[in-house]
Amino acid sequence: MDKQNVRKSIECAETSLGIELDSTRIKAVLINNDFKVIGSGESE
C-alpha cells in the first residue's frame, strides 16, 4: 500500500488502531479494512 492510499484510508476512517498499555511499555498497531498492518510502534 503506497502513501497516497494509506492517507486516503485514514482520512476516510477505513482504519483501526489497536493500543496495548502494559506496566513498562506501550504498543500500537494501525490496520486497514483488509486487516493488513499499515504501521506499528512501541515505547518503553
Q: Where are the domains of the chain?
A: 3-43
Helix (H) and strand (E) counts in the chain: 1, 3
pLDDT in tens, 1-44: 789 999 999 999 999 999 999 999 999 999 999 999 999 999 98
In 4-19, which positions are buried (b, 16+ CB within 10 angstroms) versus exposed (e)?
eeeeebeeeeeeeeee
What pTM was computed for the model?
Answer: 0.83
